Structure 1
């Protein structure tokens, strides 16, 4: 006796995931990778242009604005209150010609020659240089300071301290009415003495600590021919020094003496 009827084909074991599910997961993975890549690129751009993100708090803004009418300015405050950051941001603006819409301070319409100085070569490296260029010990990260990475044309190493720079050539302007040119930033220190501060004609000198009076006077003299500026940013550690007294009125001196 023969059996009739057809046997059904055996079903294939299910993997639990359809091709539609796999495609959906692949798209999600691709979207996540693209999103993370975008975040990394945004962070890179932010780090490479700290100047664009700079927004001063009221005391910093007052300090900047005073430059429109004053050749000499002092930002005297306690530690970690943004003095060096303010000086670095302003110096980067003058070097590049990139002044933000909110800017009310001094404006140079040409490329400039500027100095930035601290007490020692190491102090200059660890403060003004770090804020302007980036971590001294990490050349690969130079361009993450206040001077935008795309504006740094070249750097010249110094001899006073390991990883200390002698100077930086900075791309100036090139957009709108600002003519393309090159600015030069040089780093100095007070410890070298007044003789090392003579001869140069400058648009500005930034003292990122309180200088001796003879150094300050020599730095100011360097800016006379250009009608340039000097800025001093420091925490008062020397009391009523000669340089501090230059910036205080008789009434302020009397009140501080009480």
Structure 2
């Protein structure tokens, strides 16, 4: 009788247990911890904001001045300083080193640029995150865990109309909801009327009538205005508001 060619071979017993070594498991845990630390850093930039001298002086001046100007060259941290301060007022999260203006409760703030696109690409980006990547909203100066709601605008793609921000809720800071709205100069003075605000941030030099209207919005609250820009218009009316007669004379004489 012929034997079948199909002879079964005894197979080795297999284990259902993971063969991960302790070293591999430790490495995986370590990488997971690094990823979590990176996520926390990216979604809470405000916690790591450390101003350089001129930024610190700009912030500190808010303790005694309702109107402030940060005028400097490109890429010198003007918009970053404005965004960090606005995030502090919106959330009530003031760091231990803070010496500037402090609001005791939730606030209503505006942030504005020349155009809708300019507002989106500068103050909105710095405060909320990349405009075209909604999944990354919360990687700006406003911590991700403080953003309660975002309301889309009707203008430029990715532009926000407003953001509702959780204020306080920890320690002695009473919980509340702040509201941040985005504006532009191009809509004209009429679009700046009516609201009562705690603060207006002009991220670019505004026309004088827009600046005056924004300042008026803060009168009832004793609020603040901040202006951050690179001087492109020379000795403009808005710049002159912040200079003493002696400073103007020195600048004219060169």
- Rounded to whole Å, the distance in 1 between the matches of 2:141 and 2:185 is 23
Aligned partner of 1:93 in structure 2 is: 88
| TM-score, normalisation: structure 1 | 0.90
Aligned partner of 1:254 in structure 2 is: 249
Given the alignment of the two structures, is residue 32 of structure 1 paired with residue 24 of structure 2, yes or no? no
3-state SS of the aligned residue for 1:81?
coil
Distance apart, 1:176 and its partner CA: 1.5
Distance apart, 1:99 and its partner CA: 0.3
Partner of residue 73 from structure 2, selected from 66, 74, 78: 78
- Rounded to whole Å, the distance in 2 between the matches of 1:251 and 1:40 is 54
Given the alignment of the two structures, is residue 68 of structure 1 paired with residue 63 of structure 2, yes or no? yes
- Rounded to whole Å, the distance in 2 between the matches of 1:97 and 1:89 is 12
Given the alignment of the two structures, is residue 191 of structure 1 paired with residue 186 of structure 2, yes or no? yes
How many residue pairs get aligned? The number is: 236
Partner of residue 120 from structure 2, selected from 120, 125, 132: 125
The answer for unaligned runs of 5 or more in structure 2 is: 1-18
Distance apart, 1:31 and its partner CA: 1.0
3-state SS of the aligned residue for 1:100?
coil
Give every structure 1 segment of 4 or more consecutive aligned residues whose post-TM-superposition deviation is greater than 6 Å: none
Aligned partner of 1:16 in structure 2 is: none
- Rounded to whole Å, the distance in 1 between the matches of 2:236 and 2:214 is 17
- Rounded to whole Å, the distance in 2 between the matches of 1:98 and 1:209 is 26
Show CA shifts across 1:129-156 (max 9, x none).
0000000000000000000000000000
Aligned partner of 2:42 in structure 1 is: 47
3-state SS of the aligned residue for 1:33?
helix
Aligned partner of 2:229 in structure 1 is: 234
The answer for unaligned runs of 5 or more in structure 1 is: 1-22
3-state SS of the aligned residue for 2:221?
coil
Given the alignment of the two structures, is residue 135 of structure 1 paired with residue 120 of structure 2, yes or no? no
| TM-score, normalisation: structure 2 | 0.92
Distance apart, 1:85 and its partner CA: 0.2
Show CA shifts across 1:169-210 (max 9, x none).
000001111110000000000000000000000000000000
3-state SS of the aligned residue for 1:145?
coil
Show CA shifts across 1:3-23 (max 9, x none).
xxxxxxxxxxxxxxxxxxxx8
RMSD: 1.1
3-state SS of the aligned residue for 2:219?
coil
3-state SS of the aligned residue for 2:240?
helix
Show CA shifts across 1:194-238 (max 9, x none).
000000000000000000000000000000000000000000000
Given the alignment of the two structures, is residue 108 of structure 1 paired with residue 93 of structure 2, yes or no? no
Distance apart, 1:72 and its partner CA: 0.1
